């Protein structure tokens, strides 16, 4: 959104993306139906036209890719930002160094998401090749014994895909996460939980109320249940889906202050302009307090509107 608005405003802008256009959505499970409605996902009202009420990963990704192409937005993909010089290091503002080039900019918008550092269990065996921190698709795991560790929507959806498509599936989850009806970010949403309960009833899925994971081994996993009893279960593949974090190092090295937000460490920023304490450095999206697509879109709009007025640091 920020790129589109910047172009409309006649600003000289570039987007550096280390992956592909819509990389986070590209990494959603294949065939996933997203939970947001079109009005929370589209850039212009009525633009996103899914076949059903909510779009699939493929429909959403295609919409974002088309938006970039149709508007000829200046996005450089498969290029990683490595560093940003401190403010004032060069006369024009900031020098951005990537693995392919370098750029000068008077303002920087960090919209780096929070998917890059999946959280770890830190248990023996977590580095085995059968352990994944990302669920992509079911078919390699049909008839395999799959264990999912996690209590949020990503873990719930992975368990559902696997159980429905023929993997022998166990979801290891803290009882609080399973029983919570608190609509907090991260818990399993009812539209995922209801089909999971159906799979449980049909014996395609097992729940394990977790104390902790003890060890992952080649053909089995040792778990401790909520009462402290240890069990060993046969296993072919493990998905550790316990959330991920952003890397704020680059921002901090620029002098951006952080604080404890609702979901973890977040940069300090003005909630209207999205400018941080470092003049000319803005933030948007999932690593701020706005953890959904709509929030990311709205922030992009606000940042450019603010820059456009010229009522801010040059």
Ligand X SMILES: Cc1cc2nc3c(=O)[nH]c(=O)nc-3n(C[C@H](O)[C@H](O)[C@H](O)COP(=O)(O)OP(=O)(O)OC[C@H]3O[C@@H](n4cnc5c(N)ncnc54)[C@H](O)[C@@H]3O)c2cc1C
Binding residues for ligand X (CB under 6 A) = 16-19, 23-24, 28, 32, 34-36, 40, 80-81, 111-113, 115-116, 154, 285-286, 291-294, 296
**Among residues 16 and 95, whose Cβ is nearest to ligand X?**
16
In the DSSP assignment, the letter for residue 139 is G
For 21, phi then psi, to 5°, come to -60, 130
**Among residues 231 and 305, whose Cβ is nearest to ligand X?**
305
Helices 190-201/153-164 angle, 10° precision? 40
Tokens 């940003």 correspond to what residue? 84
User: What minimum distance in Å lies between the beta carbon of 153 and ligand X?
Assistant: 7
**Among residues 121 and 241, whose Cβ is nearest to ligand X?**
241
User: What minimum distance in Å lies between the beta carbon of 251 and ligand X?
Assistant: 11
Calpha distance 152→130 (Å, rounded): 21
77 within 8 A of 19, measured Cβ to Cβ: yes
Of 153, 120, 116, 111, nearest in space to 245 by CA? 116
Residue of minimal CB distance from ligand X?
Answer: 285
Calpha distance 88→280 (Å, rounded): 11
User: What minimum distance in Å lies between the beta carbon of 23 and ligand X?
Assistant: 3
User: What minimum distance in Å lies between the beta carbon of 169 and ligand X?
Assistant: 17
Calpha distance 166→160 (Å, rounded): 10
User: What minimum distance in Å lies between the beta carbon of 81 and ligand X?
Assistant: 4
User: What minimum distance in Å lies between the beta carbon of 270 and ligand X?
Assistant: 17
**Among residues 80 and 102, whose Cβ is nearest to ligand X?**
80
Tell me how crowded residue 223 is: count the other CB atoms within 10 A of its CB: 24
- Strands 258-260, 265-267: pairing kind: antiparallel
Calpha distance 189→178 (Å, rounded): 10
User: What minimum distance in Å lies between the beta carbon of 16 and ligand X?
Assistant: 5
**Among residues 40 and 215, whose Cβ is nearest to ligand X?**
40
For 262, phi then psi, to 5°, come to -60, -35
User: What minimum distance in Å lies between the beta carbon of 208 and ligand X?
Assistant: 22
Cα torsion at 251, 257, 260, 261 (round to 10°)? -70
**Among residues 81 and 95, whose Cβ is nearest to ligand X?**
81
Calpha distance 167→129 (Å, rounded): 18
**Among residues 38 and 170, whose Cβ is nearest to ligand X?**
38
282 within 8 A of 272, measured Cβ to Cβ: no
**Among residues 32 and 238, whose Cβ is nearest to ligand X?**
32
């Amino acid at each position: 959104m920020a790129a589109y608005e910047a172009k409309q405003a006649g600003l000289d802008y570039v987007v550096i993306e280390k992956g592909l256009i819509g990389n986070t959505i590209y990494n959603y499970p294949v065939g996933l139906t997203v939970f947001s409605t079109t009005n929370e996902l589209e850039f212009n009202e009525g633009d996103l036209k899914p076949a059903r009420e909510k779009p699939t990963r493929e429909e959403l990704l295609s919409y974002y890719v088309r938006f970039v192409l149709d508007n000829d937005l200046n996005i450089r993909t498969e290029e990683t930002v490595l560093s940003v010089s401190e403010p004032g290091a060069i006369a024009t503002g900031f020098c951005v160094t990537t693995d392919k080039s370098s750029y000068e900019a008077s303002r920087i918008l960090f919209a780096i998401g929070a998917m890059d550092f999946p959280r770890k269990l830190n248990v023996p065996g977590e580095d085995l090749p059968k352990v994944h921190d990302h669920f992509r698709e079911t078919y390699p795991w049909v008839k395999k014994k799959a264990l999912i560790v996690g209590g949020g929507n990503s873990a719930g959806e992975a368990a559902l895909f696997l159980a429905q498509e023929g993997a022998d599936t166990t979801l290891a989850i803290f009882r609080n996460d399973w029983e919570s009806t608190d609509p907090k970010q991260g818990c399993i949403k009812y539209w995922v939980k209801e089909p999971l309960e159906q799979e449980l009833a049909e014996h395609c899925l097992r729940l394990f109320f977790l104390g902790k994971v003890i060890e992952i081994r080649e053909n089995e996993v040792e778990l401790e249940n909520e009462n402290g009893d240890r069990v060993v279960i046969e296993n072919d593949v493990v998905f550790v889906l316990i959330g991920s974090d952003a890397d704020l190092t680059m921002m901090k090295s620029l002098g951006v202050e952080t604080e404890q937000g609702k979901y973890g460490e977040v940069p300090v920023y003005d909630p209207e302009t999205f400018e941080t304490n470092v003049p000319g450095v803005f933030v948007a999206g999932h690593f701020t307090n706005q953890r959904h697509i709509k929030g990311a879109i709205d922030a992009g709009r606000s940042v450019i509107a603010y820059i456009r007025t010229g009522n801010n640091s040059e």
